[in-house]
Amino acid sequence: MAKVIIIGGGIIGLSSSYYLRRAGHEVTVLDKGKIEGNCSYGNAGMIVPSHFVPLAAPGMVQQGIRWMFNRKSPFYVKPSLNFRLISWGLKFLAHANSRHVEQSAVPLRDLSLLSKRLYDELAMEPGFDFGLKHRGILAFYKTEQAAEEEAHLVANGRALGLDMEILSAARCRALQPGLELDVLGAAHYRCDAHISPNRLMALLQENLVANDVVVVEEHGVSEVISSGGRIRKIIAGGREFEADEYVIAAGSWSPEVGRMFGLNIPLMPGKGYSFMEKDAKRRLQIPALLCEARVAVTPMDGSIRYGGTMELGKLNRQVNLNRVRGIAEAVPKYFPGLRPLMPAEKDIWYGFRPASPDGLPYIGRSARLSNLVIATGHGMMGLSLGPATGKLVSEVIAGEITGMDIGAFSPER
């Protein structure tokens, strides 16, 4: 069995650790900060086989340009002469076409369905109650244009074997009797599910520690020593760490980490925001996506989590209150009875989604370093795709035939 070091303690890193440890490997997780502060904790908690269309899709460029002039819009790219952003943008433009969408649909579907099956298995394990519920997701729309887009998505999803359906406003009200709705209708992604990310991450950590996985926080990688096409050791937090295999699962920090390994990992951090409000009456039972507003609304542990936005740019700790205000103001336009208050800045969570230019994650071995595996670039679907990615990482390290074809996710593409 191998000694493995995983760089990154988010859902991808912890999931990889879980499956590697189950396979008998000796695992150490290194994280540059505190694990409880990473992107996975503030996630909307949605498991989404319905999301088989990558971010790089036709129409996204034009829509993104229109949104750039709205301070409360759900998507924003800060104009910059940053070479990395320009390079990423050119790659994004090259992939924003129907051919790429068609080629990506089956790999994304298969990765999502594998992850959903693994979540089901994980929920059956003793001590793993992370609030998994199979109620689907309702994607509500208010305009004819969004209705047409959702109908097209549902038709394509059904052709891929996914359980999806268009519902009238009346049928939506029957499914959510505790909510007042102001919508034309919704797409019901019955193939989807949702969980409590906070509980999942805490339980995963507890399980790993109980099974002798070493978790080392506040130890960012500062140096990599390699020779002969192999990593010999790394320096993190002033300490030396040696292993047989290494995994980069550092989310939006993966490009920075990758450069120390001599790699170029094309990713941009997409900042997202979320906040919670108590829902004592439990009016919301089924998670919702507000199509035109690009807002996610999820029932979670007696509260509702509101989340959204994608700010592409540099890593920073600034909270853009206009973006959060845009989330809060969008909700009552669909649910007149839900009027979330603008939260205090201290109650606003934010995190960075690692967005690849073609909208697909990177999963597989590095061609440059034979004992390095890359697992990053999941964008907004890190939580949804965590278990599948972790299982695939364990199979790659074991030299096994992977449970699904991962060619579309090659880090060398």
Q: Which domains does the chain have, with CATH numbers?
A: 52-81+132-192+268-355 (3.30.9.10)
| CA-to-CA dists, residue 260 to 3, 254, 369, angstroms | 21, 10, 12
What pTM, to 2 d.p., does this model score?
Answer: 0.94
* Residue at token pair 């440059």: 368
Q: pLDDT 10s digit of each residue in the chain, 413 long?
A: 999 999 999 999 999 999 999 999 999 999 999 988 666 778 999 999 999 999 877 766 666 556 555 666 667 777 666 788 889 988 988 998 999 999 999 999 999 999 999 999 999 999 899 999 999 999 999 999 999 999 999 999 999 999 999 999 999 999 999 899 999 999 999 999 999 999 999 999 999 999 999 999 999 999 999 999 999 999 999 999 999 999 999 999 999 999 999 999 999 999 999 999 999 788 899 999 999 999 999 999 999 999 998 888 888 889 999 999 999 999 999 999 999 999 999 999 999 999 999 999 999 999 999 999 999 999 999 999 999 999 999 999 999 999 999 999 999 99
Nearest to 408 by CA among 100, 163, 83: 100
Q: Is the sign of the CA dihedral 81, 82, 83, 88 positive or negative? A: negative
Report which secondary-structure segment, H or E, holds 18: helix 11-22
